[in-house]
Amino acid sequence: MVRSHEKIFWLVLLIAGLLPTGYGADDMSGSAASMKNFALPEYSKDNGRLQFIIYGATARNLGAMILLSQPMIDIMKNDVTNIQSIVSLAGLQPYPLMWTAGQVADFWKDKQHSQALIFADSAEYDKNLRLLRGDSKVHFRTPELSVDGVGFDADQDRKFVHIRSKVKVILYPDARKRSGGRKKQNNLQKEKK
C-alpha cells in the first residue's frame, strides 16, 4: 500500500513538472499578455499619487513595452487625492479643432479631475522609462488649448509632451481667465514690484 502511494506521488510530481513547460511553449516569450477595452492607472514612484490613466481598445504587453491601439491618456491634476472622484473616460473621443470656446468649456465641465487628454490611433508605453510615444495622428486637449499633429512623445515625470510634426494649435484665452490663470499671474507681478 505504501509503495503504490509513493508511485502516485512521483507520477503527480512528474506531471506537475511538465505542465509549466507545456504552457510556456504556447506563449513563446513567457511575458506577453493582451487586454481589450482596458484602463491602466499609473502612479508616481515618488509619492504614490495617481498621475494618469491609459484607456484603450487593445493592449499587448511585451516585456517592458505595452503596444496600444486607440489609446486615450487622461493626465490627472495635481490636487486629485480621491480616486473615487475620477470619472471614467473610456471610449471618449477627441473634439474637433473647430469647436468654439463655449463648446470646449462644456466638454470639460464633468472632467474636474483631468488636466489634459491625449488621443492617438496607436502608441507604445515603456513601463521602465514611463514614456509614451506614437507615430500616428495625435490629438492633445486641455481646457486652454487644443493641438493636433502627427507623432508624439510624453513623459509625465518631466511634465513634457512633444507633438512632432504637422502641428495645429488653437488657444482659448478665456478659459485661462476663467481658471484664474490671469489672476495668479497678476498677483505674481504685484509681488515682484
Give the three-state DSSP class for 97.
coil
> Is residue 21 pLDDT above 50, yes or no?
no
pTM over 0.85: no
User: For residue 120, what pLDDT is reported?
Assistant: 97
> Is residue 187 pLDDT above 50, yes or no?
no
> Is residue 176 pLDDT above 50, yes or no?
yes
Report the phi/psi class of residue 119: left, alpha or beta, with left for phi > 0 and alpha for psi in -120 to 50: beta
Of residues 83 and 74, which shows the higher confidence score? Answer: 74
User: For residue 107, what pLDDT is reported?
Assistant: 96
Q: pLDDT tens across 99-108, in order?
A: 999 999 999 9
The CATH superfamily of 33-192 is: Lipopolysaccharide (LPS) transport protein A like domain (2.60.450.10)
> Is residue 74 pLDDT above 90, yes or no?
yes
User: For residue 59, what pLDDT is reported?
Assistant: 92
Give the Cα separation of 61 and 55 in Å (integer): 14
Instruction: Yes or no: say if 148 and 138 are a contact pair by the CB < 8 Å rule.
Output: yes
> Is residue 42 pLDDT above 60, yes or no?
yes
Task: Label residue 55 exposed, middle or buried (CB < 10 Å: 0-12, 13-18, 19+).
Answer: buried
Query: Nine-digit cell at 76?
Result: 490627472
Q: pLDDT tens across 92-141, in order?
A: 999 999 999 999 999 999 998 999 999 999 999 998 888 999 999 999 99
User: For residue 86, what pLDDT is reported?
Assistant: 87
Give the Cα separation of 143 and 112 in Å (integer): 10
Q: What stretches of the chain adopt beta strand conformation (E)?
A: 32-43, 50-62, 65-69, 72-76, 114-120, 122-126, 131-141, 145-155, 160-171
